[in-house]
Amino acid sequence: MAKSDDCVHILQGLLVFGNVVIGMCGIALTAECIYFVSNPHGVYPLLKATENNDIYAAAWIGIFVGLALFALSILGIIGVIKASRTLLLVYIILMLITFAFEMASCITAATHRDSLTPEVFLKQMLERYQKSEPANNNDNEVTKTWDELMLQNHCCGVLGPSDWQEYTSAFRLTHSDADYPWPRKCCVLDAQGLPVNLDGCKLGVPGYYNSNGCYDAISGPVNTHAWGVAWFGFAILCWTFCVLLGTMFYWSGIEY
């Protein structure tokens, strides 16, 4: 009997520890997802314009899942310590529901990041950047976001300045090729925000225009956060699965 009691106490201790880890992971997941949806790199309008912002939806799910994991970890600890079948049954059911939501969040984040290709952003930029008659406010947001992106990252277009030369664009319809081979934001600017050498920029003289594209500045932060949301979530799910199995075993041994 004493040996059996010792085993029960060891299992209780492991389950309490497991739930403490789940609670801390829940807080960390919530913090990570809040940082992601706060749009720290300013690329959300571009994702929204592509009509493929499911990565942000996954992050929003992650926020609520993280809070749920923290709350349920407390419920689980109380249920284990009190050896309450009712509390643990509620814990198991709610944890399974939360588990399903987090699985959906992880899969969404892991799969949709692969659809954000250079071609997607190139099509969006060519169609919406400085559109003469914006169909909605999203077009203005796209223009503003691209301007800020090119200024902050010293880049031009998606793949480079040649984007504006090789493809038809809304920008080209209102700007002549001679005066505006590419937007002024592609020029190297001085402290006052003016081109260092406008003629050199127009002619594509190295040092007077930004020759690199902006795709890495967009995809880098998005992919980093998407992988963070996905793989940290999967790690939490693996740990939670083990704790759930232990809780079910413990619950089945509690006498009515």
Question: For the chain, which residues make up each domain, given as ranges?
Answer: 2-115+218-252, 118-216
State pLDDT tens for residues 4-51: 677 888 999 999 999 999 999 999 999 999 988 887 777 778 877 777
User: What percent of the chain has pLDDT above 70?
Assistant: 95
**Residue range 56-67: average pLDDT?**
90
Judge whether residue 239 has pLDDT over 70: yes
Q: How many CA atoms lie within 13 A of 9 on its CB side?
A: 6
Contact yes or no for 84/40 (Cβ under 8 A): no
State pLDDT tens for residues 115-153: 778 888 888 898 888 887 766 667 788 888 898 999 988
Judge whether residue 114 has pLDDT over 70: no
Judge whether residue 156 has pLDDT over 60: yes
CA angle at 219 for the pair 218 and 222, rounded to the nearest 5°: 95
State pLDDT tens for residues 196-205: 888 888 888 8
One-letter-per-residue 3-state SS of the chain:
CHHHHHHHHHHHHHHHHHHHHHHHHHHHHHHHHHHHHCCCCCCHHHHHHCCCCHHHHHHHHHHHHHHHHHHHHHHHHHHHHHCCHHHHHHHHHHHHHHHHHHHHHHHHHHHHHHHCCHHHHHHHHHHHCCCCCCCCHHHHHHHHHHHHHHHHHCCCCCCCCCHHHHCCCHHHHHCCCCCCCCCHHHECECCCCCECCHHHHHHCCCCCECCCCCHHHHHHHHHHHHHHHHHHHHHHHHHHHHHHHHHHHHHHCCCC
Which residues have CB under 8 Å from 220's CB, separation 6+? none
Average pLDDT of the chain? Answer: 87
Which CATH architecture best describes the domain 118-216?
Orthogonal Bundle (1.10)
Confidence at 102, pLDDT banded by 50, 70, 90: very high
CA 75, CA 198: separation in Å to the nearest integer? 65
Comparing 18 with 55, the larger pLDDT belongs to 18
Q: Look at residues 70, 79, 120 and name the one whose alpha carbon lies nearest to residue 98.
A: 70
Number of CB atoms found within 10 A of residue 178's CB: 7
Which residues have CB under 8 Å from 139's CB, separation 6+? 49, 128, 131
For the full predicted model, state whether its pTM sits above 0.75.
yes
What pLDDT does 113 receive?
66
45-49, 176-180, 216-220, range with greatest mean pLDDT: 216-220
**Residue range 245-254: average pLDDT?**
90
